[in-house]
Amino acid sequence: MSFGEAAAADAVQDAFVSAELRWNRVGQLDDPAGWVRRVAINRLLNQRRDERRRQQILAEAGATVARSDVAVDSAAAVDLRQALLALPPRMRAAVVLHYLGDLGVADVAVAMDVSPGTVKSTLHDARAALRLVLEGARHA
């Protein structure tokens, strides 16, 4: 999966999460699928705009990134992705919604149909599991 495909997949996932969290309103629309498409497209456009802005700021500041730093960051991202995929689905969903989707514990609880305490416990267990996997990958 290329970066563009990954960004698109993330945007679509975010759009569906947004629809689920707002289903009482979205479900009443004439075209809920169109709403999800529009949200996904807007997320992609926002990501592109933000990335261009970051690149412009870095260029204006004269900042350069060493290729070795990029390689380390890429390797770390691959390790994190593999660690996330190794989590059980419920843990992975909680981590993605909370940390990558920027949802609060209460919103994650609503999205997952569990109590906030269960979300906190699941996130705690997921962080411990990720820590073990990532530390093992670092020492391998």
Q: Is the pLDDT of residue 10 over 90?
A: no
Query: DSSP secondary structure string, 50-98?
Result: HHHHHHHHHHHHT----HHHHHHHHHHHHHHHHHHHHS-HHHHHHHIII
Tokens found for residue 117: 């305490």
**100-128 pLDDT per residue, tens:** 778 889 988 888 889 999 999 999 999 99
Give me the chain's average pLDDT, please. Answer: 80
Domain annotation for the chain: domains and CATH numbers: 1-64 (no CATH), 67-140 (1.10.10.10)
DSSP label at residue 99: I
What local confidence, expressed as pLDDT, does residue 82 receive?
83
What local confidence, expressed as pLDDT, does residue 59 receive?
67
What local confidence, expressed as pLDDT, does residue 118 receive?
96
**Higher-confidence position of 58 and 1:** 58
What local confidence, expressed as pLDDT, does residue 27 receive?
92
First to last CA, the chain: 25
How much is the pTM?
Answer: 0.48
**21-60 pLDDT per residue, tens:** 999 999 999 999 999 988 888 888 888 888 787 777 666 6
Q: Is the pLDDT of residue 66 over 60?
A: no
